[in-house]
Amino acid sequence: METPVLSPSVNRPMELNEDELLFRDTVRQFAEKEIAPLVRRMDEEQHFDPGLIRRLFELGLMGIEIPEALGGSGGTFFDALLAVEAISAVDPSVGVLVDVQNTLVINALLRWASEEQKRRYLPRLAGEMAGAYALSEASSGSDAFALQTRAEKRGQEYILNGRKLWITNANEAGLFIVFATVDPSAGYKGITAFLVEKGMAGFSVGRKEDKLGIRASSTCELILDGCVLPAAQMLGEIGKGYKIAIETLNEGRIGIGGQMVGLAEGAWAHAAAYAKERKQFGKPLVEFQAMQFQLAEMATEIEAARLMVYNAARLKDAGLSFRKEAAMCKYFASQVAERVASLAVEILGGAGFVRDYPVEKFYRDAKIGKIYEGTSFMQLAMIAKLTLGVG
């Protein structure tokens, strides 16, 4: 089944200016033309097509906020969000590759890297090097700062030992932002961030997870076994890793919100197209009022989620507080994505339950939205704290 075009009400939001609208439509056209034919094979084989990753770099989608002087596109955070949304409407696996690259890795370097680190890494991240963000461990998921990875200083070097789990982009990445503690007794104030390159002695990528959804996207274990890093590989200041993690994850949640909105848009478009084609009792499904109402309700929820995500991104670009809005949009968009994808499967009926149609993949892909970059419970806790003053 071809990737259908979204309806005008979903596809042409009035709050986008002409440049933003052109950019998003261009990315969506690229996704429909070059990503859509690869989706099923990449999902089944559980890895990205190497040629596709090269195209993402060639089009500037892997370095959207990097200044043009350093080889990037010189765009905004909102531009990165639009790209994630547009790509995720075709394949959320590719959407999260672009999302982690832009909203986590590049954002962290733009804000916290030294000038020398920016000159060394940002041109490569814009041109050929994917990045990954390594915070989670077996004992630190929602409790992100319970991490056990150690960084021991020896002279002008740090020796890292530990294991990271569930690291997105691990197989594709050449650069990893790794969080480790230099002083366990200091609690979260001992956490420090380091820039680790693939191929460094004592560092390796371990087992790849066999996942329910976003299967083309690699999620792997990282092993640090006496990994020796020059002190110059520290990102930011010693003991400030918690601040880097908090700030970048707040931004990353908006990106995941964008991924989930795109996913919901894609699932809705397939469901609407099928309802127009499929006939029962002598007329298309879409002519039944019950079907019209269901699709209308889905479209309304998508619109609400999208506006929440856009608002959070606009606040971020304006330099205003956005923590509450980031938590809300990530929470709500993930709820909407799962609901819309589930209903899309039901609208297609038996066809929705098989892999000949894309909606079963959207349904599988949607579940992770409630889990990574802060579970739904963690988002609710944040929202309660910022609205009620509790916690």
Give the active site residues: 373
User: How many CB atoms are closer than 10 A to CB 71?
Assistant: 17
Q: In whole angstroms, what separates CA 80 from the centre of its chain?
A: 10
For residue 137, which amino acid is it? E
Q: Length of the chain in residues, anyone?
A: 391
Question: DSSP readout, 248-284?
Answer: HHHHHHHHHHHHHHHHHHHHHHHHHHHHHH-EETTEE
Q: What is the largest CA-CA distance in the chain?
A: 80
CA 152, CA 145: separation in Å to the nearest integer?
17
How is residue 112 written in tokens? 């916290």
CA 64, CA 73: separation in Å to the nearest integer?
5
Tell me the CB-side half-sphere exposure of residue 114, using CA atoms within 13 A.
13
Residue 276: exposure state from Cβ atoms within 10 A (0-12, 13-18, ≥19):
middle
Q: Helix crossing, 77-88 with 241-277: angle to 10°?
A: 40
CA 351, CA 357: separation in Å to the nearest integer?
7
* The residue to which tokens 């490569």 are assigned: 124
- Per DSSP bridges, beta strands 173-181 and 130-134 are parallel
For residue 223, which amino acid is it? I
